[in-house]
């Protein structure tokens, strides 16, 4: 490849498509888009303040990655995961995030533990008052902060791809709201293990966290949640 061609600047539409892609990907990861939600590119373009072309390109890229599906009319929508696919994703998350937690236990500083405790406190407060968006946001922030502390960028990219696929499913915990206890959250045990630099304790705590929530969501996925996709709401 000619060097001049390889380093040629991208045009505005390509750059904009990348920005839209990252925005949609983040919305999928955090659960701001729900299973069955239809993503009409013209509606999204209006919401995001861009032309339809970069939105269409971003949606097709997410379809190619398996994060979105297309209906019979070619409209992208957030898939409802089959229970076996969700189980596979959670098995991989458990293995990879468990490794990251164990490694983070050996690297974490007191300041980082304090930061994680603050994130967890906001998550618990969100659960207490029924603020689903806060719970989703702080839960994602908590998990990826641990991976960042572990300094495993390759693992982080793989885990991000799993969250893109499974993130919307967590909405099932809030529609309708599922009863959950505010006591004995696995994050608390994980924080204690990190503070003690206990690698196996940290791994065990995050495995418990993912398995408990994974089992609950697996049961919800098995329930009858069929029906046509719904139009996309706000991306937040």
- The pLDDT value recorded for residue 228 is 46
- The pLDDT value recorded for residue 222 is 84
- CA 97/CA 214 separation, integer angstroms: 14
- The pLDDT value recorded for residue 173 is 81
- The pLDDT value recorded for residue 184 is 77
- The pLDDT value recorded for residue 88 is 96
Show which of 19, 53, 79 is a domain's final residue: 79
- The pLDDT value recorded for residue 225 is 55
Show which of 48, 79, 110 is a domain's final residue: 79
CATH number, domain at 175? 1.20.120.530
> 177 with 195, same domain?
yes
Show which of 64, 79, 94 is a domain's final residue: 79
The answer to whether residue 233 sits within a structural domain is: no
If DSSP codes are grouped into helix, strand and coil, which group holds residue 215?
helix
The answer to whether residue 130 sits within a structural domain is: yes
- The pLDDT value recorded for residue 6 is 54
Distances (CA, A) of 186 to 12, 13, 94, 208: 45, 44, 13, 7
> 67 with 176, same domain?
no
Q: Which domain holds residue 90?
A: 83-222
- The pLDDT value recorded for residue 177 is 62
> 89 with 197, same domain?
yes
Distances (CA, A) of 225 to 51, 57, 182, 206, 219: 33, 29, 27, 28, 11
Cis amide prior to 133 (ω within 30 degrees): no
Identify whether the C-beta of residue 119 lies closer than 8 Å to the C-beta of residue 141. yes
Identify whether the C-beta of residue 169 lies closer than 8 Å to the C-beta of residue 221. yes
The answer to whether residue 236 sits within a structural domain is: no
The answer to whether residue 111 sits within a structural domain is: yes
Domain count, the chain: 2
> 136 with 24, same domain?
no
- Six token digits for residue 206: 């995050």
pTM, two decimals, is 0.83
> 43 with 27, same domain?
yes
The answer to whether residue 186 sits within a structural domain is: yes
> 42 with 112, same domain?
no
> 65 with 114, same domain?
no
CATH number, domain at 43? 1.10.10.10
The answer to whether residue 24 sits within a structural domain is: yes
> 107 with 193, same domain?
yes
- The pLDDT value recorded for residue 1 is 45
> 203 with 218, same domain?
yes
CB neighbours of residue 143 within 10 Å: 22
- CA 135/CA 120 separation, integer angstroms: 9
- The pLDDT value recorded for residue 181 is 57
The answer to whether residue 234 sits within a structural domain is: no
Note down pLDDT in tens along the chain; length 236 residues. Answer: 444 545 555 455 458 999 999 999 999 999 889 899 999 989 999 999 999 999 999 999 999 999 999 998 999 999 999 999 999 999 999 999 999 999 999 999 999 999 999 999 999 999 999 898 899 999 999 999 999 999 999 999 999 999 999 999 988 887 656 556 556 789 999 999 999 999 999 999 999 999 999 999 998 888 755 544 555 544 54
Q: Residue 161 burial by CB count (10 A; 0-12/13-18/19+): exposed, middle or buried?
A: middle
> 98 with 209, same domain?
yes
> 196 with 212, same domain?
yes
If DSSP codes are grouped into helix, strand and coil, which group holds residue 120?
helix
> 88 with 72, same domain?
no
The answer to whether residue 4 sits within a structural domain is: no
């Amino acid at each position: 490849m000619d060097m001049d061609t390889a380093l040629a600047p991208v045009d505005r539409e390509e750059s904009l498509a990348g920005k839209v892609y990252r925005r949609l990907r983040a919305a999928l990861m955090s659960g701001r888009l729900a299973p069955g939600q239809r993503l009409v590119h013209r509606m999204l373009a209006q919401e995001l303040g861009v032309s339809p072309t970069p939105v269409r390109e971003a949606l097709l890229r997410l379809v190619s990655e398996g994060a979105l599906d297309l209906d019979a009319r070619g409209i992208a929508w957030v898939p409802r995961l089959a229970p076996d696919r969700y189980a596979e994703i959670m098995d991989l998350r458990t293995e990879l995030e468990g490794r990251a937690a164990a490694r983070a236990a050996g690297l974490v500083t007191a300041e980082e533990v304090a930061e994680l405790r603050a994130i967890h406190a906001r998550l618990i407060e969100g659960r207490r008052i029924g603020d689903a968006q806060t719970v989703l946001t702080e839960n994602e922030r908590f998990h990826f902060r641990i991976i960042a502390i572990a300094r495993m960028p390759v693992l982080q990219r793989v885990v991000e791809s799993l969250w893109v696929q499974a993130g919307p499913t967590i909405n099932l915990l809030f529609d309708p709201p599922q009863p959950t206890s505010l006591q004995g959250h696995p994050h608390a045990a994980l924080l204690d293990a990190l503070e003690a630099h206990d690698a196996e304790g940290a791994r065990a705590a995050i495995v418990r966290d993912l398995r408990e929530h994974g089992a609950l969501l697996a049961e919800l996925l098995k329930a009858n949640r069929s029906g046509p996709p719904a139009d996309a709401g706000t991306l937040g």
